[in-house]
Amino acid sequence: MSRRILLLIAVLTMPSMLIAAESKPNIVFLLVDDLGYADCGFNGGKVTQTPQMDRLAKAGTVLESHYVQPVCSPTRAALMTGRYATRTGVYQVVRPKAKWGLPLQERTLANALHDAGYETAITGKWHLGDFDPAYLPTARGFDHQYGHYFGAIDYFDHTRDGMDDWYRDDKPLKEEGYSTHLVAKEACRLIAERNKIKPLFLYVPFNGIHSPHQVPEKYLEPYSSLSGAKQKLAGMLAAVDEAVGQIITALETAGMRENTLIVFSSDNGGPAPTDNTPLKGYKGSIDEGGVRGCAFANWPGHIPGGVRIKESVHVIDWYPTFIKLAGGSLEQKLPIDGKDIWPVLTEGAHSSHESILCVKSPTSAAVRMGDWKLVINDGPDDDNATAKSKKKKAKAAVKGPALYNLATDISEEQNLADKEPNRVIAMRAKLQQWLKDAVPSGAKP
């Protein structure tokens, strides 16, 4: 076939390709690391000014019961697969040089959206394995990768434990700059230089506001009344808020804003001294303060503004929701735990979840059914912990069941297990259904 004929075919088909792209939403997922439930203004925060996030949240729908995992790698695995940690074995943080990651048999959200015709990109923290090229983002469905593989990097020199951790398209990259600024700059570049005949899936997992607590001095000045880690956290969150605003401006400049679904979430409950008010506990626990994330969704003309939803949803739900919106296929070999929550977001429908699993390990888990939450801690669950720390954790854990009515006791102060024995039996049976086939941790000694 001649080059002229091929060019003619391309010209004739381009309008239909553009129409197809425009009929599918661009999807931007903003994930903030170690953000407390009440750190942002839209969720009650009064310390740090977060005008960009607050504006988006106000114009969209806030998810008051958006569940995530207790720590970062498991939440990322759940988002990427639509499956609980009991399926993937990602209960723990994937650390540098670890010989494991998100299992290769897992189909990722990026795989599914790429197959549905999307350009796919990640800018920020991966945290799902790097020990073999098959585990890297560009091998897991992403067309573009930028940022780091692990947590706790230095924000300025991008090292962890003396080793560089900064890449572009999974190739080492030496670059100067504050990482929050660089992640946002790359997101804006990807938006501006996107393939205009394809919708865009842009995943932006910021490393802010995770430790180490580092931020340019100018962000500390408005918070001179604070000191130490609290002042630095306020400055770090302000920098992330600014970055979110830059990404929104880039979408507007590119003419994409009206056809872009934006989802915002923390990756786990915040650690001290972040603010999880009124929730009990912090990052690493299956208390509400460890597994209830700060979240909202925004899409002008599609998701109502000024709404707050109490209905329980989970980060696994974005997998089927996004794929369905993208016109992709949900047919796959591995079962999907997530539910399509589009009716919840747009019609005020009840969640399709009969129960939601909050899991730290097969021996430390909770189940939420309606307003009720049952917590079981049967022993230490960190395969990498020392014998001493395991003993300490086991001593601190609440043995036996703890039952809470979250509608009247969101802070989990009153254990009603003794008063509701039949409910405990029924909920424990449901929890055991979730846990009976739980795979062991993928973490290697």
Helices (H) and strands (E) in the chain, counts: 12, 17
54-56-57 Cα angle (round to 5): 65
Q: Which residues are catalytic?
A: 72, 127
Residue type, 277: T
Burial of 288 (0-12, 13-18, 19+ CB in 10 A): buried
Please, which residues have CB within 8 angstroms of residue 177's CB and are 6 or more apart in sequence?
156, 185
In whole angstroms, what is the distance from residue 254 CA to residue 29 CA? Answer: 18
User: Could you please report the per-residue DSSP string of 183-238?
Assistant: HHHHHHHHHHTS-TTS-EEEEEE--TTSSS----GGGTGGGTT--HHHHHHHHHHH
Beta bridge partners of 372: 369, 405
The answer to whether 315 touches 79, Cβ cutoff 8 Å, is yes
Burial of 344 (0-12, 13-18, 19+ CB in 10 A): buried
In whole angstroms, what is the distance from residue 373 CA to residue 105 CA? Answer: 32
